[in-house]
Amino acid sequence: MDPTLDWVAGGLALVTAVMAAAKVWLGWQTRAAVKVSEKEAEATVALGSEARRDRELAIQPVLILGRQGPSIEIKNIGRGPALRARIFLWRKDVLYWSQGYGFAVAAGAIELVTLGGNSSRLGTPDMSNISGEYSPDEDFWAYRLDQLGNALRFNLRTGGPPLVSLPADAQRLPWVAAIEDFG
């Protein structure tokens, strides 16, 4: 055998071994880069969700109960308008509600609402979503949409934070029909 061929074969074997080692090293580096990219993607999604929530809170109306008399005073102390707002009141097992398709309350504004209606409408699909939620402790609600299409339910007696149903929710809460479909 020619000694030159031995050197060439040995050199090729060494180059092949170095290339194999380099491929293994590059594979590990790629794997590490993928893990870092996955963490960055998760952080980006979380940041987007946080930005969306900040935007929602920045334009969210906050409805509170004012004076009560022949008309009920509803105040919007939030930063955004309440669109298609509806008011429901249980009193002595009779349900009263604001008439029409709902009213709008601008940010910082006060709306006087007269309640009408009676329990004879409880059998209709739109009212059954409201009547099933009766509780003596939670008998005065405001339902409304915001600028982003979120449906919110405020308890006007307690003034607590609203219950929210997002348009992207797989299954909207049953009471959303009270402001989306009621007429």
Residue 147: name the closest of 60, 49, 52 by CA.
60
Residues 121 and 166 in one domain: yes
Residues 133 and 121 in one domain: yes
pLDDT at 132: 47
Residues 165 and 91 in one domain: yes
We report the CATH number of the domain holding residue 102 as 2.60.40
Chain segment 3-30, per-residue pLDDT in tens:
777 788 888 888 899 999 999 999 889 9
Instruction: List, as one string, the DSSP characters of 77-142.
Output: -SSS-EEEEEEEEEETTEEEEE-TT-EEE-TT-EEEE-EE--GGGGGSHHHHHHHTT--TT--EEE
Chain segment 73-117, per-residue pLDDT in tens:
888 888 888 887 878 777 666 677 777 667 788 888 888 887 775
Number of compact structural domains in the chain = 2
Prediction pTM value: 0.56
Query: Which range of residues forms the domain containing residue 170?
Result: 61-180
